[in-house]
């Protein structure tokens, strides 16, 4: 097969030289043409490589010679070569290691806060401590000899005379080149009636999207088998005559399919526990999915409770919609411990998609959630994880591939630093 080469990139200059011909082996339907970019250390902007199929001059006889072919559509394709700039200063990582999420203190409280910092291309020289948006202190350090890149450096402060209430502590680290990193929040409570030693502390609650994809069931679409050929007598086509064959259309996974959130508690399970939650996202509770009440009960002796998102059929073609579930603090009087404390994660997200699911997509949605749809092994389960440095990975949720697509949504993407994501194959989660 012959093709012409165009575009703004130079053949053999900006990418490894390619010829203007490609051979499709016998028994195959396609052949690849690979563009290998060449490094040149120049700032050039985005360059293009355009390939266009060229017709072959054939003798007008019947049957035509076997080497002849016709050019169909599309007959042209374009690829882009982009510069890969040198990486800039990477932000530091910071984590509050003391106190732990769910810690209880007697009012007026003295709370010691310790943050661990590390910077892969420098070191951290200052950490500021916050409760919500209020700065409560900072610590800076002067080094006569700069620490080695990647050195863990602790920072600490003491927060005194803390009144009763619930507080979200964060740390903000600044590295030697001015980049900033912010820790995940740590939730603590200060009460006037701290349980005596030996008393069970309130359980700590978290939530995960163990299956973050719901599929509407009314839009049951067919898929045409792409390998059908006319008149070849294969099972992928229904023959009406020797030269007339109709392709097969497949109708599968017509839904509906529910998404699942799992509320978990760590600690005391002796009593029944009612947990409050709030719903947000681009999908509307009671309209796009069956109405959820905003509370879920964990029976005595149970550590988990399930919340199902059941999509409602609407016969409308809609973009991907999100369902964000956020655990709410337990109502409590000032002089008694709360019924439960919020751990991490306290928020999780799911998506409602059409049937069939959209093709691969990576984008920020209208509500600033990050949505990834990637090709995956049909029916397989994956553990979705994120990392800030490609070394330390934190689980987000589990997800199952449906119709060859894996979907998940990260509700914290907007407020978090830049994240890397990966999908790790795993057995079906045991909840």
Span 138-149, pLDDT tens digits: 999 999 999 999
Task: Tell me which of 65-69, 86-90, 224-228, 373-377 is least confident.
Answer: 224-228
Classify 380 as helix, strand or coil: coil
β-strand pairing of 223-224 with 249-250 = antiparallel
Residue 297 in tokens = 């009960």
**Which is it for strands 2-6 and 47-54: parallel, antiparallel or unpaired?**
antiparallel
Mean pLDDT of 373-381: 79
The token pair that represents 126 in the structure block: 């200052």
Residue 71 has pLDDT above 80, yes or no: yes
pLDDT > 70 fraction of the chain, expressed in percent and rounded: 80
Round to whole Å and give the CA distance between 19 and 80.
18
Through-space distance between the first and last CA atoms of the chain, rounded to whole angstroms:
53
Residue 352 tokens read as 């409602």
Average pLDDT on 373-386 reads 80
Q: Which segment, 42-46, 59-63, 170-174, 372-376, is predicted with the most confidence on average?
A: 170-174
Written as six digits, the tokens of 251 are 């109708």
Answer whether residue 174 shows pLDDT above 80: yes
Domains and CATH numbers, the chain: 1-85 (no CATH), 93-191 (2.60.40.10), 205-214+255-425 (2.60.40.2030)
Q: Does 192 have pLDDT greater than 70?
A: yes
DSSP state of 390: S
Both tokens assigned to 365: 């949605």
Is 189 or 254 the better-scoring residue by pLDDT?
Answer: 189
How confident is residue 429, by pLDDT bands cut at 50, 70 and 90?
A: low
- Residue 239 above 60 pLDDT? no
DSSP bridge pairs for 139: 127
pLDDT band per the 50, 70, 90 thresholds, residue 202: confident
pLDDT range class, residue 317, cuts 50, 70, 90: low
Average pLDDT value over all residues in the chain: 80
The per-residue pLDDT for 16 is 92
Whole-number Å distance between alpha carbons of 322 and 320: 7
Inform me whether the pLDDT recorded for 303 exceeds 60: yes
Percent of the residues in the chain that have a pLDDT greater than 90, as a whole number? 31
Least confident of 10-24, 134-148, 390-404: 390-404
Q: Comparing 37-41, 113-117, 217-221, 332-336, which segment has the lowest mean pLDDT?
A: 217-221
Q: Please report which helix (H) or strand (E) contains residue 81, including its range.
A: strand 76-81
């Amino acid at each position: 097969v012959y093709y012409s080469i165009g575009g703004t990139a130079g053949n053999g200059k900006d990418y490894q030289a390619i010829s203007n011909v490609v051979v499709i082996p016998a028994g195959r339907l396609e052949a690849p043409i690979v563009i290998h970019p060449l490094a040149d250390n120049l700032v050039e902007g985005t360059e293009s490589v355009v390939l266009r199929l060229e017709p072959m001059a054939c003798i007008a006889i019947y049957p035509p010679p076997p080497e002849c072919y016709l050019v169909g559509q599309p007959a042209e394709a374009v690829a882009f070569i982009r510069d890969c700039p040198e990486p800039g200063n990477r932000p530091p990582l910071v984590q509050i290691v003391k106190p732990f999420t769910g810690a209880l203190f007697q009012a007026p409280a003295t709370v010691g806060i310790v943050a661990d910092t590390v910077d892969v291309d420098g070191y951290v020289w200052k950490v500021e401590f916050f409760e919500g948006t209020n700065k409560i202190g900072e610590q800076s350090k002067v080094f006569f000899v700069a620490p080695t890149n990647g050195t863990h450096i602790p920072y600490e402060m003491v927060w005194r005379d803390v009144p009763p209430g619930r507080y979200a502590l964060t740390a903000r680290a600044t590295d030697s080149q001015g980049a900033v990193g912010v820790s995940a929040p740590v939730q603590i409570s200060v009460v006037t009636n701290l349980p005596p030693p030996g008393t069970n502390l309130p359980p700590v609650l978290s939530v995960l999207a163990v299956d973050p994809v719901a599929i509407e069931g009314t839009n049951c679409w067919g898929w045409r088998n792409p390998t059908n050929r006319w008149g070849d007598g294969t099972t992928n086509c229904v023959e009406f005559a020797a030269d007339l064959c109709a392709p097969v259309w497949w109708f599968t996974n017509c839904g509906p399919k529910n998404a699942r959130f799992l509320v978990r508690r760590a600690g005391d399970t002796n009593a029944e526990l009612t947990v409050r939650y709030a719903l947000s996202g681009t999908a509307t509770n009671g309209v796009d999915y069956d109405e959820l009440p905003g509370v879920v009960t964990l029976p005595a002796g149970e550590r988990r409770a399930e919340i199902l998102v059941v999509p409602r059929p609407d016969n409308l073609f809609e973009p991907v919609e999100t369902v964000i579930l956020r655990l709410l603090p337990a109502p409590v009087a000032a002089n008694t411990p709360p019924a439960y404390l919020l751990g991490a994660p306290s928020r999780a997200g799911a998506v409602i998609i059409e049937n069939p699911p959209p093709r691969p997509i990576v984008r920020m949605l209208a509500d600033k959630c990050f949505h990834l749809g990637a090709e995956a092994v049909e029916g397989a389960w994956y553990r979705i994880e994120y990392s800030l440095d490609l070394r330390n990975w934190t689980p987000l949720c589990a997800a199952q591939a449906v119709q060859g697509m894996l979907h998940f949504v990260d509700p914290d993407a907007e407020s978090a630093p830049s994240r890397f994501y990966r999908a790790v194959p795993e057995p079906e989660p045991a909840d």
